[in-house]
């Protein structure tokens, strides 16, 4: 069973270039990095950490498609409905085609964009475990300012393992090393 | 940005949100709120007395209200253009101004939306605009009408701009949160949504920003295209022209950039952000103003040529009336401010002058307001039937509502500059070592770290 709390040992670096070198060293030593935290998106970090490509674009595509279908089906249903269903006030266009696809394109486009944007954003916040009022533990206040952090989980790790990690931080130029329970 | 460190950037950009409000800011808020209150009063007057309180008549059924709507919507275009299109084109200079420009977009769209929402004088029936099964028949909305397309376009534009802007703000709110204490920390924690700066989150965040930019790009073009359809699909001479969509989009970018300039010049001075919003930014935006202004100018001339070439007397008369009719002064204002005035930006000296830029940005905004007024009012004032020809000028109520939108816009903007970082902190940090004095070389990650560690 996973521990309720994570014991985290983390080191703070001053610069992204030092961070990148440290990650390479960690990989070479087969250290199991829990996470890396940075104040801004550092390019080149994803392949180094072996992060998979995000699949958010697929989410965007699916929601976009849903928007397209909602618009086309909705408009067709409403137009058809006003003809077929008893009691609906018929929408009459003098001499123009009743079901006119070109006229539906603007709204179809807008709903495609709307669904895609909202869907992707909501999924982004959900999969990142974020939302208004969510209070995810912050390892160090300077991570969102100017420090670059490598964190290791040390639950069930013996003293020699922790010492090895501290040695790693020392060797790779970490400015500060802290422990925290999150 | 010279030899600034990441921490310096944080200090510079978060600083204004932490300092006590200045007297100038307080004065700005008092003036803006007063204007907004006058706008609310004028709106209440309209709702109480009905739109008879406006000077519209049977001939000129569209006047001040829709002029102001189109003007604000146009202004709202620059934010997304700077954020989205320039992001896709990898124009790094956008990082200095994108946050404030996006905020401006959202506030401008709010102001714009106020006009169609209230133009019936019965805003409590606004929900009639949405297609939903209702007890009035059901009577469905007309999906063939550009006015309904407009409703969808503007609500989508507002939503996507808001999502884009807020997603960009989240990491910066986290920066403010981690520096704040007490109650302030609680507030920013709420809005920072639990951002921690995880590598995976940054990866997704960049994906999200890029895709939102990708979908916002055609969206921004579609919005003003659809606004132009409000006119172009009609049968009114002077309105039913096929050139309207590109001409309106160019005009929107033109006026939007002008408003960004006005705000940026004031903001950089007041918040001392001259190192972040530089002369280079101002010059780049002036170039966009010059290009789009010239596009708008050529559209004006093409319109004149086509009306002459059409051989259609009503079309010809509409344009003759625009130039030499009773609203000739509006046409002069439009041509002078939109076409002639921006030509001074061919000179690099003027393009890089703060004062010139500031005054020209005001000129352009006045000119673009005249453009909408010219298109809308002069085309209606003299219709097919000379006995129904009319002249229109707004009442104090209509002017009051317009003034009120300025109040709303500046109140929102002033609150924004107090509570949120005006320049995107994380984005500026991300490009710090890719360009300029601290450039690390084509592959930044391979640069020797020792010399940087010594900073």
CB contact under 8 A, B193 and A134: yes
Contact B429 A40 (CB under 8 A): yes
- Reduce the DSSP state of residue A89 to 3 states and report it: strand
Residue B430's pLDDT is 86
Q: Which residues contact B384 (CB under 8 A, 6 or more apart)?
A: B314
C-alpha B220/C-alpha B215 separation (Å) is: 9
Model pLDDT, residue B454: 38
Asked if the model's pLDDT at residue B198 lies above 50, the reply is yes
**Tell me, what's the pLDDT at B90?**
74
Structure-model confidence comparison of residues B305 and B93, the more confident one:
B305
Say yes or no: A173 contacts chain B, CB-CB below 8 A. Answer: yes
Q: Could you tell me which residue, B87 or B24, shows the higher pLDDT?
A: B24
Cα–Cα separations (whole angstroms), residue B308 to B49, B223, B240, B367:
43, 30, 15, 24
Calculate the average pLDDT of chain B: 89
Chain A (113-142) residues lying within 8 Å, Cβ to Cβ, of chain B: 113-114, 116-118, 120-121, 124-125, 127-139, 141-142
**Residue owning tokens 């204002």:** B333
Q: Given a cut of 90, is residue B273 above it in pLDDT?
A: no
pLDDT band at A82 (very low <50, low <70, confident <90, very high): low
User: Hey, are the CB atoms on B430 and A118 less than 8 Å from each other?
Assistant: no
The pLDDT assigned to A77 comes to 82
φ, ψ for residue B305, nearest 5 deg: -60, -45
**Residue B262: per-residue pLDDT:** 92
pLDDT at B434 over 80: no
Return the ∠ at Cα A51 (arms to A46 and A57), rounded to 5°: 90
Note the pLDDT of residue B78: 80
Mean pLDDT (chain A) is: 88
Higher pLDDT, A123 or B5: A123
Summarize the confidence of residues B422-435 as an average pLDDT: 82
Q: Is the pLDDT of residue B453 over 50?
A: no
Q: Report which of residues B176 and A155 the model is more confident about.
A: B176
Q: Which pLDDT score, from 0 to 100, does residue A2 have?
A: 54
Contact A38 B202 (CB under 8 A): yes
pLDDT score for A155? 85
Task: Write the DSSP symbol of residue B394.
Answer: -
Quick check: B213 contacting A, CB < 8 Å?
no
Contact A119, A63 (CB under 8 A): yes
Q: How confident is the model at residue B439 (pLDDT cuts 50, 70, 90)?
A: low
Label residue B314 by pLDDT band (50, 70, 90).
Answer: very high
* pLDDT beyond 60 at A48: yes
- Over residues B86-115, the mean pLDDT reads 86
CB-based contact, B409 to chain A, within 8 Å: no
Q: How confident is the model at residue B160 (pLDDT cuts 50, 70, 90)?
A: very high
Cα–Cα distances (Å) from B83 to A4, B101, B303, B415, in that order, read: 42, 8, 31, 21
Identify which has the larger pLDDT, B81 or B56: B56
Q: Chain A partners of B6 at a C-beta cutoff of 8 Å?
A: 39, 145-146
Is the pLDDT at B443 greater than 70? The verdict is no
Instruction: Please compute the mean of the pLDDT values over residues B226-253 and round it to a whole number.
Output: 92
Confidence of residue B171 (pLDDT cuts 50, 70, 90): very high
> How confident is residue A1, by pLDDT bands cut at 50, 70 and 90?
very low
The reply to whether residue B195 touches residue A111, judged by beta carbons under 8 angstroms, is no
Look at residue A13 and tell me whether its pLDDT is greater than 50: yes
pLDDT value, residue B428? 87
Residue ranges and CATH numbers for the domains of chain A are 7-39+146-181 (3.30.70), 56-127 (no CATH)
Q: Residues with Cβ < 8 Å from B272, sequence gap 6 or more?
A: B12
Would you give the distance in Å from CA A132 to the centre of its chain? 15
Question: Which of A101-105, A156-160, B69-73 shows the lowest mean pLDDT across its residues?
Answer: A156-160
**Residue B399: closest CA among B26, B11, B35:** B35
Say how far apart CA A143 and CA B84 lie, in whole Å: 27
Q: How far is A135 from chain B (nearest CA, A)?
A: 5
The pLDDT score that the predictor gives to residue A72 is 92
Tell which residue, B54, B56, B119, has the closest CA to residue B396.
B54
Closest Cα of chain A to B249: distance in Å? 16
CB B226 within 8 A of CB B146: yes
Distance (Å) from the alpha carbon of A17 to chain B's nearest alpha carbon: 5
Domain residue limits, chain B:
6-234+243-273+396-453
Chain B residues whose CB is inside 8 A of the A50 CB are none
Rounded to whole angstroms, how far apart are CA atoms B286 and A84? 56
**Which helix (H) or strand (E) element contains residue B24?**
helix B23-49
Between the two ends of chain B, the Cα-to-Cα distance in Å is 15
Mean of pLDDT values over B209-221: 90
Token pair for residue B183?
Answer: 């109650």
Predicted local distance difference test score (pLDDT) of residue B444: 46
Q: Which residue has the higher pLDDT, B201 or B78?
A: B201
**Tokens, residue A86:** 């008893």
pLDDT of B94 > 80? The answer is no
């Amino acid at each position: 069973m996973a521990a309720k709390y994570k014991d985290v040992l983390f080191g703070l670096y001053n610069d992204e270039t030092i961070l990148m070198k440290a990650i390479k060293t960690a990989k070479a030593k087969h250290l199991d990095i829990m996470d890396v935290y940075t104040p801004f998106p550092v390019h080149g970090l994803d392949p180094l950490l072996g992060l998979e490509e995000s699949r958010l674009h697929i989410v965007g595509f699916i929601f976009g498609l849903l928007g397209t279908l909602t618009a086309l089906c909705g408009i067709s249903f409403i137009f058809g409905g006003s003809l077929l269903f008893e009691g609906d006030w018929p929408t009459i266009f003098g001499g123009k085609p009743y079901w006119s696809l070109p006229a539906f394109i603007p709204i179809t486009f807008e709903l495609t964009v709307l669904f895609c944007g909202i869907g992707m954003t909501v999924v982004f916040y959900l999969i990142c475990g974020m939302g208004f009022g969510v209070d995810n533990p912050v390892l160090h206040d300077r991570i969102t300012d100017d420090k670059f952090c490598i964190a290791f989980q040390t639950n069930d790790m013996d003293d020699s393992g922790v010492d090895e990690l501290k040695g790693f931080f020392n060797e790779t130029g970490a400015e500060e090393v802290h422990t925290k329970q999150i | 940005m010279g030899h600034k460190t990441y921490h310096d950037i944080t200090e510079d950009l978060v600083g204004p949100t932490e300092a006590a409000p200045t007297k100038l800011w307080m004065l700005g808020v008092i003036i803006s709120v007063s204007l907004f209150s006058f706008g609310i009063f004028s709106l209440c007057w309209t709702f109480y007395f009905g739109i008879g309180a406006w000077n519209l008549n049977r001939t000129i059924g569209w006047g001040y209200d829709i002029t102001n709507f189109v003007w604000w919507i146009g202004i709202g275009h620059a934010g997304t253009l700077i954020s989205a299109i320039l992001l896709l084109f990898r124009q790094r200079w956008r990082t200095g101004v994108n946050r404030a420009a996006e905020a401006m977009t959202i506030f401008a769209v709010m102001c714009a939306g106020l006009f169609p929402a209230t133009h019936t004088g019965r805003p409590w029936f606004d929900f009639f605009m949405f297609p939903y099964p209702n007890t009035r028949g059901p009577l469905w909305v007309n999906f063939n009408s550009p006015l309904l397309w407009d409703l969808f376009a503007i609500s989508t534009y507002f939503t996507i701009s808001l999502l884009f802007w807020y997603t960009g703000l989240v990491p910066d709110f986290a920066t403010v949160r981690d520096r704040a204490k007490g109650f302030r920390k609680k507030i920013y924690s709420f809005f920072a949504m639990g951002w921690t700066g995880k590598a995976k989150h940054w990866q997704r965040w960049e994906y999200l920003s890029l895709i939102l930019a990708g979908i916002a790009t055609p969206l921004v073009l579609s919005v003003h295209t659809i606004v132009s359809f409000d006119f172009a699909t009609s049968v009114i001479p002077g309105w039913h022209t096929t050139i309207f969509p590109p001409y309106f989009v160019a005009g929107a970018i033109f006026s939007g950039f002008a408003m960004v300039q006005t705000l940026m010049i004031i903001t950089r001075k007041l918040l001392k952000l001259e190192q972040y919003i530089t002369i280079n930014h101002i010059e780049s935006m002036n170039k966009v103003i010059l290009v789009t202004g010239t596009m708008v100018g050529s559209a004006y001339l093409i319109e004149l040529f086509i009306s002459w070439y059409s051989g259609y007397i009503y079309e010809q008369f509409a344009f003759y009336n625009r130039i030499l009719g009773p609203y000739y002064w509006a046409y002069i204002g439009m041509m002078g401010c939109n076409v002639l005035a921006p030509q001074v930006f061919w000179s690099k000296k003027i393009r890089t002058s703060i004062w010139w830029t500031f005054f020209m940005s005001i000129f352009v905004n006045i000119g673009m307001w005249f453009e909408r007024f010219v298109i809308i009012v002069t085309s209606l004032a003299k219709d097919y039937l000379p006995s129904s020809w009319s002249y229109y000028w707004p009442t104090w109520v209509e002017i009051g509502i317009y003034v009120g939108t300025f109040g709303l816009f500046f109140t929102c903007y002033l609150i924004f500059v107090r509570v949120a970082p005006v320049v995107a902190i994380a984005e500026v940090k991300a490009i710090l070592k890719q360009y300029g004095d601290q450039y690390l070389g084509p592959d930044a990650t391979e640069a020797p770290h020792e010399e940087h560690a010594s900073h």
